Chain A
């Protein structure tokens, strides 16, 4: 089979869960991961009779900030709509979403191959409850019901898996930079739905503007790796069908990790009829230009801008700058260290080297301490505190006698315990180990 015979046409819908303190339309805590079931619910997010939604201002602002980061136009007028459908995880029988007037439209994002991917829309909605499937029953937890979700829809501009993955990583980095979502795939903070179809590969440019007559949507994928595999699988599967002179059916499929393939979930004989209409319980939103520009002025520096600035301002290589700006925490730590280091004549490059080559524990070694370490070249390993704590707990557990001795007044027994801990940290700071041990022995 000639793999270049077809050109993939891929679009993406990504749901990003915001990390606001409260839910989208009620004041329940927005936490659900690792929580006891159904403890963060109220009449609103349980869909009790008579309850009414009131939107979360911060969530709306964050949604718009995502739009800004993706170079979207922010609409002056926007509203919420009801999307009506039935499913046991949807307590009201409708999801409050946005239909024809989303907060943000017409954006774009640039990939490393200089290609611009269109962002069709960025809108605000609410999450559903969580279903837990058992053999003969299904259990429902509504802690997640009403958690703010931002849906980001691209144009079908991707032509390869690599482009898709790069976009997703960029998007993840952006929302983390904005501080609006942890975008933790494993926790379901970011959910991916690629739609894939194939067109004949040709140099004829008019053909490129015509979309294939079908598209296959793969629902709710929660890992970059699975998205890759699902798209690769679909390209192969659809090529096979096209090669037989047939057209793949328009449908929704799911990725089955065990079978390593996508499986059909529902043929869309008729497009889902969501019966959208304007949400009567929430007045519309109007943003005057000054509000929009005010919000824009609150935008933090985005990864691409930071990358360029780091190279220029600190004379770093692109490689170094990329590592340092990958996460905002690292970039901030670096800049703070540079600021302090400047007074002590430590160069940004020196700091960059240490940060890139050693795993510095940001929480416990503040930039000032790091600079001190560089200036005086003290050969102390700054012990990772959480690691130290684990080792100490282990040592205490295995050396009950020494512990009891210490507790009974034989204070010198601590020397034995320090020795045991030091076996794990030969170059560790004895004072730090001692003081941590003492803390543990007292509790």
Chain B
């Protein structure tokens, strides 16, 4: 199976170098071949499992608790302005 690496990279928002694209193409199809082993297992009428805890209906009460301070919220950003995160201009799409 050949993967359209460029398309997937676009979806994944990953910048890739040319040499990486070629390598990924090979490695990803190698992995896909491996995981296609599963096709030999019959899963007709089998429910999928997304969680193994068996928990249901976990929710919290609507009670506000203290937040981080503005300074803490911004403490790891490289670029800020007047209490806001600052990035290169983007246009609303």
Which A residues lie at the B interface, using CB under 8 A?
A: 20-22, 27-30, 36-43, 46, 54-60, 79, 86, 88, 93, 131-142, 254, 265-266, 273, 275, 277-278, 280, 282-286
Given contacts A22-B62, A39-B69, A131-B90, contact A139 B85 (CB under 8 A): yes
The answer on a CB contact under 8 Å between A86 and B13 is yes
Report which of B60, B86, B88 forms a contact with A56, defined as CB distance below 8 A: B60
The verdict on B70 contacting chain A, using a C-beta distance below 8 Å, is yes
Q: Please indicate the chain B residues that have their CB under 8 angstroms from the CB of A59 in the complex.
A: 62
Are A40 and B67 closer than 8 Å at their CB atoms?
yes
**Selected contact of A266 from candidates B56, B60, B93, CB within 8 Å:** B93
Would B83 and A57 count as touching, CB distance under 8 A?
Answer: no
User: What are the nearest 8 A-B pairs in CB distance?
Assistant: A58-B62, A27-B65, A139-B84, A57-B59, A283-B55, A278-B50, A140-B85, A22-B64
Partner of A137 from B13, B62, B69, B81 at Cβ < 8 Å: B81
B61: Cβ under 8 A from any A Cβ: yes
A38 touches B62 (CB 8 A): no
B68 within 8 A of A: yes
Decide: A60 and B59 in contact? CB cutoff 8 A. Answer: yes
Is residue B35 within 8 Å, beta carbon to beta carbon, of the partner chain? no
A136 to B87, CA, bound (A): 9
Mask, B47-79, CB within 8 Å of A = 1, is 000110101111111111101111001100000
How many Å lie between the Cα of A38 and that of B69 in the bound state? 8
How far is the CB of B75 from the nearest CB of chain A, in Å?
11
- Chain A proximity of B46: nearest CB distance (Å): 16
Docked-complex contact A41 and B87, CB < 8 angstroms: no
Please state if B50 and A38 are interface contacts (CB–CB under 8 Å).
no
> A140 to B65, Cβ gap below 8 A?
no
Q: Quick check: A58 and B61 within 8 Å, CB to CB?
A: yes
Name which residue of chain A comes closest to B62, CB basis.
A58
Contact A28 B64 (CB under 8 A): yes
How far does the alpha carbon of A135 sit from the alpha carbon of B91 in the complex, in Å? 10
Query: A265, B93: Cβ atoms under 8 Å?
Result: yes
Contact with A along B10-44 (1 / 0, CB 8 A): 01010000000000000000000000000000000
**Which of A28, A55, A277 touches B60 (beta carbons < 8 Å)?**
A55
Please, which residues of chain A bring their CB within 8 A of the CB of B82? 37, 139
Interface size of B in residues (CB-CB distance below 8 Å) = 35
Report yes or no: B68 in contact with A280, Cβ–Cβ below 8 A. no
Contact between B68 and A57, CB atoms less than 8 A apart: no
CB <8 Å contact, B63 and A142: no
Contacts of B60 in A (CB 8 A): 27, 54-57
Contacts of B64 in A (CB 8 A): 21-22, 27-30
The residue of chain B having its C-beta at the shortest distance from the C-beta of A279 within the complex is B50
Residues of A with C-beta under 8 A to B1: none
Q: Which of A38, A57, A266 contacts B61 (CB 8 A)?
A: A57
Across-interface contacts of A54 in B (CB, < 8 A):
58-60
**Contact, CB under 8 Å: A138 / B90:** yes
Provide the residues of chain A in CB contact with B59, threshold 8 Å: 54-57, 60, 285
User: Shortest CB–CB separation between residue B19 and chain A, in angstroms?
Assistant: 24
Q: Tell whether, in the assembled complex, residue A29 and residue B57 are in contact, meaning their CB atoms are under 8 Å apart.
A: no
Find out whether the CB atom of A36 lies under 8 angstroms from the CB atom of B83: yes
Contact of A38 among B13, B65, B85 (CB under 8 A): B85
* Min C-beta distance of A110 to chain B, whole Å: 32
Q: List 28 A-B contacts (CB under 8 A).
A: A21-B63, A22-B62, A27-B64, A37-B83, A37-B84, A38-B70, A39-B69, A39-B70, A43-B68, A54-B58, A54-B60, A55-B60, A56-B59, A58-B61, A59-B62, A132-B84, A136-B88, A137-B86, A138-B88, A140-B86, A140-B87, A142-B73, A254-B92, A280-B50, A283-B56, A284-B51, A284-B56, A285-B56
Chain B residues, Cβ within 8 Å of A27: 60, 63-65
Residues on B with beta carbons closer than 8 Å to the beta carbon of A88: 87, 90
The interface residues of chain A lying within 8 Å CB-to-CB of B93 are: 265-266
The answer on a CB contact under 8 Å between B63 and A133 is no
Whether A38 pairs with B87 at a CB distance below 8 angstroms is no
**Set of chain B residues within 8 Å of A285, measured between Cβ atoms:** 56-57, 59
Q: How far is the CA of A134 from the CA of B62 in the complex (A)?
A: 35
The CA of A283 and the CA of B51, in the complex, are separated in Å by 7
Residue of B nearest to A43 (CB): B68
**Alpha-carbon separation in the docked complex, A27 to B63 (Å):** 6
B91 CB contacts on chain A under 8 angstroms: 133
Which of A39, A55, A60, A136 interacts with B89 by CB under 8 Å?
A136
